[in-house]
Amino acid sequence: MSEIKAQERLRKPEWLKVPIPSGLDYVGVKKAVHDNKLHTICESGSCPNQAECWSAGTATIMILGNVCTRSCQFCNVATGKPEAVDIAEPHRVAQSIKTMGLKHVVLTSVDRDDLIDGGSKIWAATIRAIRKHAPGVTIETLIPDFQGKEEQLDRIIEVAPEIVSHNIETVKRLTREVRVQARYERSLEVLTYLKKGGIAKTKSGLMLGMGETDIEIEETLKDLRMAGVEIITIGQYLQPTKKHLLVQRYVHPDEFAKYKEWAINLGFTFVESGPLVRSSYHAEKHI
């Protein structure tokens, strides 16, 4: 029987109300994203913070298409056969960032297990293009696990983003259901390898409300610190569609404050913990 079960969908509490998108900056970012044919996790992942971030003139750009080879049960990004790699994408992304006048950018991607290099060459080319065309921009990369292949991770290490993030997503017991093709231990190995390879700041993210216990949350935080992670985001899982895993509970803001205190006491230097927190939430503050 599934670890994650519920008899009926839970009603969202008041603290999970999301603001309606508005403002000139929101419109400007939306226009720039669409005009330059960019994908964003803000849209593809149905992020609840899209209004706040776009209204502030920031966005998380998703490279390598918007179709993923994996079928994580929490994620709203489409699963299937991706399109061919667009070799012009790195230049287009870099030019768009320059045009938008960004000071800090977060890059992420779908998993591309269909590619021999896992997409790591496009990752590296995109970062190099940003360095060339928008040299003042700081970069956070939210990367897949690249199946733990060191030669692919080395390409990320070589271009040295200011922050490299890889999300653990959930506790060990629930990983097989939540992240079907991923492994808890492999994610920890990836984060450890990045740190040992010379990445100054590593980061990870954890979703709550999927059936995890406090003991498991604490164990996960300890595992991440052992892997050298300094920055952690902790947020509420929200079911994107009826086809995705059901929410088991809505975590109260007071509990998120408790988990933040736990993380700080364990030695994390930056902790974002709250119902609407996502991986790139307030990312510019983590530099």
Q: Map out the domains of the chain as residue ranges.
A: 20-286
Contact of 123 with 143, CB cutoff 8 Å: yes
Listed range (42-51, 55-64, 113-122, 218-227) with the worst mean pLDDT: 42-51
* Nearest CA among 206, 204, 209 for reference residue 226: 204
Q: Which CATH superfamily is domain 20-286 in?
A: Aldolase class I (3.20.20.70)
| Residue 197 tokens, joined | 């390879």
User: Tens of pLDDT along 156-199?
Assistant: 999 999 999 999 999 999 999 999 899 999 999 999 999 999 99
d(CA 136, CA 98): 9
User: Tens of pLDDT along 16-32?
Assistant: 776 555 554 555 556 66
Rounded mean pLDDT of 109-120?
Answer: 96
From the number of C-beta atoms within 10 Å of its C-beta (0-12, 13-18, 19+), residue 31 rates as exposed
pTM summary value? 0.86
Predicted pLDDT of residue 45:
46
How many C-beta atoms surround the C-beta of residue 48 within 10 A? 20
Q: Is the pLDDT of residue 206 over 80?
A: yes
The one-letter amino acid code at 220 reads T
Predicted pLDDT of residue 27:
57
Rounded mean pLDDT of 197-221?
Answer: 97
How many C-beta atoms surround the C-beta of residue 23 within 10 A? 13
Predicted pLDDT of residue 53:
56
**Roughly how many angstroms between the first and final C-alpha of the chain, as a whole number?**
43
